[in-house]
Amino acid sequence: MIATGVSTGIWADEFEAVHELKDCFEWMNKDVQLESSPLEKLLTELIKETQKNGQTHIYNTQLRMIIDAWVAKGFLLEKPRNKEVIDIMRGLSYKVNSQGQWTKIL
């Protein structure tokens, strides 16, 4: 990439190319790490809607059906692994109880 950029005149020399690419990768890494995954965004919205409707929990089976619908509608490219769902829900301060309900951790 550097050789092509220098030879086509995008950058004056390899030092400028390295500096520009370093800045670009730092910017990308910072923004990519701060961005939520599509699943996390959808789960956050689901929780907001649930709370807005006065519900205090989400049944695990209900959550699985909702996620399947998101996949079918194309909101998610593939069905997420259970571990990914669990990690995100825990990150959103929810835990699953013995009745199979996701409830807010107080």
CA 18 – CA 1 distance, rounded (Å): 10
* Residue 71 predicted with pLDDT over 60: yes
What do you get for the CA distance between the two ends of the chain, in Å? Answer: 51
6 — pLDDT class (breaks 50, 70, 90): confident
* Residue 97 predicted with pLDDT over 60: yes
Residue type, 83: K
3-state secondary structure of 105: coil
pLDDT digits (tens, 9 = 90+) for 10-52: 889 999 989 988 888 887 777 555 567 899 999 999 999 999 9
Q: How many CB atoms lie within 10 A of CB 92?
A: 15
Q: Is the pTM of this model over 0.85?
A: no
